[in-house]
Structure 1
């Protein structure tokens, strides 16, 4: 390891929001930093740290897993430490608990004095604390560039709610600060939920847009899970809107490989091996998305009606304990589809399933991580966005013609039917249109699966950390 001032070992603190869709990209980026010989303090709550994948032995000495005690909020279970542990309506209470980590984080920064603190959207109070201690500050957005651009015209507008969008209907079209044609907007059933959950003050005392605005305003730079080779126009737009250097870190494709001796993978692989090549629909809506009982029923019956083989990763989120959010499947469904379908209710090695030659399409909620995994392997998509940024992601991917959205009825809150599910699945996997979706997805795999491109972005990211820290060492402002 080099020891000169030109290549001194840095200490980077990483502090993600309490959701595994955020924690895992932060964790993967931490491993890339350690791979370059720098020290990382990965900070989260005790239970979340315990749920992390095992570190590779050669990186473990460089990554310190820092466990914080999440303050208890009486509306939450004592074990609720991530969004997968709570229902969607209670996530704002988790943000209240998260804000209670401020004293512990402050103590850590005062004691350890890292060169950088890289944080998520949630700790709006952290940039000023780190700045007062002379620590370089980076906001790492795991959301796509179009989502950040959509959120607000400027940090001050986001903080003060002055960007002229005052009702849910205002989110049904691209914002007026987009200087180019765009299809990035919400649908009616999404907009009302987004407006209520993200643009209004919640139990934590602030809105999510306020958090993002404060984080953007107080940061030295924005790191983002994106690349110029895919939808490049949003990156310079963000830089212009927020007056911040924007440093894409690449798409952070996963690198985990399932153990051939792992019983779960052995069982799943045996089933997949028995299916016809390119016909299996892989279905996964993430570990934190909870669909209603009626939506679950229509999805199941739609898969049955499609006549195609399917593998359904149907994990029950810990919070899905109510009657309306149960994972009870329609009567007789498992028996009727036994010959061509498998429903798996615990963890599955998603990347290995997607790599299997029998898989011909992915029915997904359009979380950014799932999109990256699907497109790196050239799979067309059947899109069923549920929450947050997923709808915006779906609009972009439909425009790229890598798949279709399951049609929904806006008259009754965005419901969908078994017929619409069946038609969508067949259109992507076996109908003539599917050839186009597959070809376009394969073309994008040249970007999403390009390991050399990914390495280039990671190297540039590390160089940025080193250069800006080095500037501070020589008396410059970070």
Structure 2
């Protein structure tokens, strides 16, 4: 039957590793179901993505146009540029419209799944009869808090008020019709408030999101109805179109598989060095500390974290990029030798989290890291830094799955004492039992492979049943 044939699905993520990696994980899962997958990305980023088995996915290399304002010609991801230059990366990304159009014309995919940034994809694809899905790596609560497309696009409405100042984002909006604490804290929204306004790319982030949602055929969201049912119901009401959960996308593979086929000798030796240190510590005693690839900690923040780790008296493994390790307090590494490690290069996060000596994860609340932590039932100590991380933290706090380090509401500053006390609370104190127990209780929603597989199958069944007809496919080939 035609309904059972395999699909050709294209994916087009935004150029941030927090987006590209979940997109790649989703692409891999769909390819393993036998579907033909095209992954559209830029050359340098394709080379930096995790290696996959040969011929599983077709990587479509789209050279990024150079635009004035980008600091280097090889700047192809947000990690390559300062925060204030990301607007120019978006401008260069918008320059891929012609390349994407040519790909769609020549390849005729059944569906294209796209991110928040390329708001222009759906109109192009629709003219060719290609079905479109806005695929959000942001959670349902994050999207629900931001509101319907009209609000995101800044259009006034009798039903919804337009938010114009940071304070407007520190309370739940009126369209959320159930009790919740989900909102930004003042310092969180202040740090990203520029994303609410047009920048040198010509279009604000929220407007891109609104236009992308408005023009697609279906919205796909990383998440589970089991975990956040009220938020998915809200989004269907706000968007007035299908909103489908695709699961939490936990990384595939056995945590005990320490020698992948594609693992380099250097990676193997790196892990063995780490494992040797972790093996020396008792089960459930180590704090893993990592704050993602996007946010850049300031000197004061690095200092307070370092001194807080020192004061906590807990063993810790801190992954800190080399440039930031250079601003550690003088003598810190000597003082914590044996009890703590500051690792200054790439680290295999999944393997570290899987090690039995690790009990907690001191994290920025990026959802990929949250999913990985919960897979291994690791307690969460939260320090949200940018983007949607504050909203993620509220959800985890609300469900008693994570505890946030106390901070100044206006500027987000925190003290070493707050860091130490938060770590000890979640890691060892009786008062923190609720957080340790909750992550164990909820981990099934994130780690259960059968559950995640059902979400994927349901999504693919939807794509099959709503794909472009054979007739229109032939028509658009002419």
Is this a same-fold pair by TM over 0.5? yes
Partner Cα separation in structure 2 for residue 61 and residue 313 of structure 1: 33
Aligned counterpart for 1:47 among listed residues 44, 47, 51: 44
1:164 Cα offset (Å): 2.2
Helix, strand or coil at the partner of 1:176: coil
Aligned counterpart for 1:166 among listed residues 164, 171, 174: 164
Q: Residue 292 of structure 1 contacts residue 326 of structure 1 at CA under 8 Å; is this kept in 2?
A: no
Partner Cα separation in structure 1 for residue 258 and residue 399 of structure 2: 34
1:253 Cα offset (Å): 0.3
Partner Cα separation in structure 2 for residue 445 and residue 276 of structure 1: 23
Helix, strand or coil at the partner of 2:384: coil
Q: What's the CA shift string for 1:147-180, capped at 9, x where partnerless? A: 111112x212221343421111100101110000
1:54 Cα offset (Å): 1.3
Superposition pairs of residues 25-424 of structure 1, within 5 angstroms? 25-56=22-53, 60-76=54-70, 77-152=72-147, 154-162=148-156, 163-196=161-194, 198-256=195-253, 257=255, 259-260=258-259, 262-316=268-322, 327-411=326-410, 413-424=411-422
Structure 1 equivalent of residue 14 of structure 2: 17
Partner Cα separation in structure 2 for residue 364 and residue 151 of structure 1: 23
Q: Residue 258 of structure 2 contacts residue 351 of structure 2 at CA under 8 Å; is this kept in 1?
A: no
Helix, strand or coil at the partner of 2:51: coil
Partner Cα separation in structure 1 for residue 302 and residue 366 of structure 2: 18
Aligned residues: 459
Q: Residue 135 of structure 2 contacts residue 219 of structure 2 at CA under 8 Å; is this kept in 1?
A: yes
Partner Cα separation in structure 1 for residue 307 and residue 88 of structure 2: 35
Q: TM-score, normalised by structure 2?
A: 0.93
1:61 Cα offset (Å): 2.4
Q: Residue 325 of structure 2 contacts residue 344 of structure 2 at CA under 8 Å; is this kept in 1?
A: no
Structure 2 equivalent of residue 8 of structure 1: 5
Q: TM-score, normalised by structure 1?
A: 0.93
Which has the higher mean CA deviation after the structures are superposed, 158-167 or 46-55?
158-167
1:273 Cα offset (Å): 0.3
Partner Cα separation in structure 1 for residue 464 and residue 371 of structure 2: 28
Partner Cα separation in structure 2 for residue 166 and residue 282 of structure 1: 38
1:403 Cα offset (Å): 2.5
Partner Cα separation in structure 2 for residue 213 and residue 288 of structure 1: 23
1:126 Cα offset (Å): 1.1
Partner Cα separation in structure 2 for residue 292 and residue 41 of structure 1: 39
Q: What's the CA shift string for 1:361-410, capped at 9, x where partnerless? A: 10000000011111121111110000010001101111111221011112
Aligned counterpart for 1:459 among listed residues 433, 444, 457: 457
Q: Residue 41 of structure 1 contacts residue 63 of structure 1 at CA under 8 Å; is this kept in 2?
A: yes
Helix, strand or coil at the partner of 1:465: helix
Partner Cα separation in structure 2 for residue 157 and residue 384 of structure 1: 28
Helix, strand or coil at the partner of 2:234: helix
Partner Cα separation in structure 1 for residue 305 and residue 4 of structure 2: 54
In structure 2, the gaps of 5 or more residues are 260-264, 474-478
1:111 Cα offset (Å): 1.1
Q: What's the CA shift string for 1:428-476, capped at 9, x where partnerless? A: 101112222111110011211111101111111111111111x633779
1:185 Cα offset (Å): 0.3
Helix, strand or coil at the partner of 1:291: coil
Alpha-carbon RMSD across the aligned residues, in angstroms, is: 1.5
Return closer, same or farther for 1:86/1:327 CA change in 2, 3 Å cut-off: farther
